[in-house]
Amino acid sequence: MPLTKELINDALSGVAHPDGGDLVSRDCVLNIALCSDDASVRICYTQGHPDQQQPDRNALSNMGKFAEQVIRAAAKAEGVESLGLIIDFVDHAGQVVLKLKSDTKTSAETPKEKQPEQAPQNTNAAGVPGVKHIIAVGAGKGGVGKSTVAINLAIGLARKGHSVGVLDGDIYGPSLPTMLGLQALDQAVIESTLQPFLVHGIKSITMGKLVDADKPLIWRGPMAHGAFTQLIERTQWGELDFLIIDLPPGTGDVPLTLAQSVQLTGAVIVCTPQKVAQDDAVRASKMFESLGVDRLGVVENMSYFIGDDGKEYDIFGKGGAQKMAQNLGLPFLGSIPINTALRRNMDDGNPTKNFEADSAGGPQLPAALEQLTDQLIAQVTLASMNKSSQAPTLSIS
């Protein structure tokens, strides 16, 4: 039976709206376009709330799950072999807030067709008890802002009500003690179990608090393995929704150990716009791919600079990392501008200030970080659902 607009509309009417009712009855479906087995749907969350310019934060956080429901329902309803679906979530002004693309195979024998080259993640890899999602933040190059992104994502997730931990896996050059302001605190150990620090609403652990800060950290391969594994296993994390792991830069021993010993939900790749950073980021991405780790998306850091005159200056070639993500077929999670307040807040160990316009040099940085967090949540939701069902494959841009 061919796919029709009515069938999609019916499917959407079976999808609950986060505020009650369903998408169709709440007039959220603005448009359905159809061409053969490809459909495009435009959805506005804030329909019926003229005062609400932006989609509700909870609704944004649920977008991934929500879109998945739409696709499943639509795929089931029309009974065709495959469905190419694009869902644009728009705000009140018609601006696209999030775009979801899916290429869903609806027949049972085809779902894995698209990823023949991907090795399965090590089946011996275990999760960390009590931790729902483990996310690695990696970069091909040092100094691109990997630790900065890891910490700000952690704070962003915590601000949305999630319980979050950060593990400073960059055992060669730990930055967490400075960036979280842990200098004056001592590492607590109870019966040989490390107690994470609890600052800025997140739990954290770092090699930087276990070794002498003034001595260079020189690890040989097996030592690095051991140190990293112990940091993960010996820490009493308790119940966490997300454990963010700040990896060392590059594609060396530690990321390999990590991907082989811990069941990751996925990896985030941080990159600056320049070509040289992209080349290394591509290598990092390939490493995760070859290890069978889901790549949740790319973050472009130091994307552009906003001067005191309010103008945007393109220093490194804005959009370079976004193009790289497109070329690799990876979701683009968002970009962070070069921001002196961000650098200062991180140096002062005050990352929460990045989320407050007054201390973040204006509203751009908090908005960028919020959006990044929302996109990450959406991708994590999709990755988890894909893992559990192996049904639709989705990408967000």
Residues forming the site for ligand ADP (CB under 6 A): 139, 142-148, 175, 249, 301-302, 336, 338-339, 342-343, 346
End-to-end Cα distance, the chain: 30
In the complex, what is the shortest distance from the CB of residue 122 to ligand ADP, in angstroms, rounded to a whole number?
Answer: 26
Contact in structure between 173 and 252 (CB atoms under 8 Å): no
Rank residues 29 and 346 by Cβ distance to ligand ADP and give the closer one.
346
**196 or 250, CB closer to ligand ADP?**
250
175 or 379: CB nearest ligand ADP: 175
- In the complex, the smallest distance separating the C-beta of residue 337 from ligand ADP, rounded to whole angstroms, is 6
Range 351-358 contact pairs with CB under 8 angstroms and sequence separation of 24 or more:
351/151, 351/152, 351/155, 351/179, 351/180, 351/200, 352/155, 352/200, 352/201, 354/152, 354/155, 355/155, 355/156, 355/159
Least distance in angstroms from the C-beta of 179 to ligand ADP: 7
Q: Closer CB to ligand ADP, residue 369 or residue 385?
A: 369
Which residue in this structure is represented by tokens 């811990």? 262
Give the integer Cα–Cα distance in Å for 26 and 167.
43
Q: Locate 24 and state its tokens.
A: 């169709």
Round to whole Å and give the CA distance between 345 and 372: 18
Indicate left, alpha or beta for 298 from its phi (over 0: left) and psi (-120 to 50: alpha): beta
Residue placing its CB nearer to ligand ADP in the complex, 143 or 363: 143
Q: Give per-residue burial for 267-300: e unless 16+ CB within 10 Å, then b.
A: bbbbbbbbeebbebbbebbebbbebbbbbbbbbb
Alpha-carbon distance 237 to 74, whole Å? 40
Choice between 64 and 250, CB closer to ligand ADP = 250
Shortest CB 141 distance to ligand ADP, Å: 7
Nearer to ligand ADP, 127 or 319 (CB): 319
Nearest CB to ligand ADP, comparing residues 75 and 342 = 342
Give how far Cα 194 sits from Cα of 178, 186, 203, 209, 235, Å: 19, 11, 12, 11, 4
Q: Nearest distance from residue 293's CB to ligand ADP, in Å?
A: 19
The minimum distance between CB 284 and ligand ADP, in angstroms, equals 11
Least distance in Å: CB of 321 to ligand ADP? 12
**Distance in Å, CB of 369 to ligand ADP, minimum:** 10
